Chains A and B, each alone.
Chain A
Amino acid sequence: AQTVTQSQPEMSVQEAETVTLSCTYDTSENNYYLFWYKQPPSRQMILVIRQEAYKQQNATENRFSVNFQKAAKSFSLKISDSQLGDTAMYFCAFMKHGTSGSRLTFGEGTQLTVNP
């Protein structure tokens, strides 16, 4: 079974600064997907960024980028130029596809607070 671990329950950062959220996972699979989802107080789950395991290049989406280390099974999220609207719970997630369907497993979450 896959497990996802986020070791930082809470983090804070000053507006306009950079912050990195950590995530590690455990799997014996070779092909899978990794995600960071954001959950603001509205509780809507919003996809921030996606990484396919077969791609060596780290994914980037505007101010959001990842450091994907497949051998180390590490998938950290870097947020540059932090904005107040980035305040949210961030979840790291692992997905694998199988012949009988897909499975999506989440980490425990990191509550990020951006301070003015």
Chain B
Amino acid sequence: DTAVSQTPKYLVTQMGNDKSIKCEQNLGHDTMYWYKQDSKKFLKIMFSYNNKELIINETVPNRFSPKSPDKAHLNLHINSLELGDSAVYFCASSPRSGMNTEAFFGQGTRLTVV
């Protein structure tokens, strides 16, 4: 079973459209994240949720809205897509504490806005 799965893997859409990326983790982790990886490969945190509660909301346009229906899911909805939104988006999860902690990542969603 995949630990962190996100869908779709690729997404090509036109400017102005609304799209969603889904993420699910089966690790029982409390914390989930969304990262944006730009063309220079820099990984920038967008959001972090702890047990369905929004913890981190970096400087992200309010066209991006995360939704966590339960602690195993963190979806990302993007309204009115722009060319600059083209990037790879990664979902990740980690335990809240404890030894041997690490973050597990989904396979990424390559979003291309045309």
List A residues 31-47 near B (Cβ within 8 Å).
33, 35, 39, 43-45, 47
Q: Give the contact-size bracket for chain A.
A: 20 to 34
- Among residues of A, the one whose C-beta sits closest to the C-beta of B41 is A109
For the complex, count residues of B whose C-beta is within 8 A of A.
32
B101 touches A97 (CB 8 A): yes
A109 touches B92 (CB 8 A): no
Complex: how many Å from CA A105 to CA B100? 17
Q: Which residues of B contact A (CB under 8 A)?
A: 30-31, 33, 35, 40-43, 45, 48-51, 53, 55-56, 88, 90, 92, 94-97, 99-103, 105, 107-108, 110
Tell me if A's interface is mostly helix, strand, loop or mixed: strand
Complex: how many Å from CA A45 to CA B49? 20
List the A side residues contacting B33 at CB < 8 Å: 104
List the B side residues contacting A19 at CB < 8 Å: none
B107 touches A105 (CB 8 A): no
A100 touches B102 (CB 8 A): no
Complex: how many Å from CA A108 to CA B38? 11
A89's partner among B41, B90, B107 (CB-CB below 8 A) is B41
Among B43, B48, B56, chain A packs the most CB atoms within 10 A around the CB of: B43
- Among residues of A, the one whose C-beta sits closest to the C-beta of B105 is A45
- Among residues of A, the one whose C-beta sits closest to the C-beta of B56 is A103
B56 touches A109 (CB 8 A): no
- Among residues of B, the one whose C-beta sits closest to the C-beta of A97 is B97
Interface pairs (21), CB distance under 8 Å: A44-B105, A44-B107, A47-B102, A93-B103, A95-B103, A100-B50, A101-B56, A102-B48, A102-B50, A102-B94, A102-B96, A103-B45, A104-B33, A104-B45, A104-B92, A104-B103, A105-B45, A108-B40, A108-B41, A109-B42, A111-B41
